[in-house]
Amino acid sequence: MTTPSTAANAVELDGKDLPAHCPNPAMPLWSSHPRVFLEFDAHGVAKCPYCGTAYRLKPGTVVGHH
């Protein structure tokens, strides 16, 4: 995973990456903030409320419900 900050360059996640959280494992320790689990919208996009990193589900990814 990478850590871009714009939606066009969003971190792409697959089903194995769920539940998704930020900071992600690829982020350096110095840029860390409290872990927050991400909620994806109907378009499969989420944005971290702390650092603004954008996340996007890969096409075809199925999000399970509890």
Q: What residues does each domain of the chain span?
A: 7-57
Per-residue pLDDT of the chain (66 residues; tens, 9 = 90+): 444 445 578 999 999 999 999 998 888 888 789 999 999 999 999 999 999 999 999 998 877 654
Residue 38 CA to residue 18 CA, distance in Å, equals 9
**CB neighbourhood size of 13 (10 A):** 21
Flag whether the pTM goes above 0.85.
no
**Alpha-carbon distance 58 to 33, whole Å?**
25
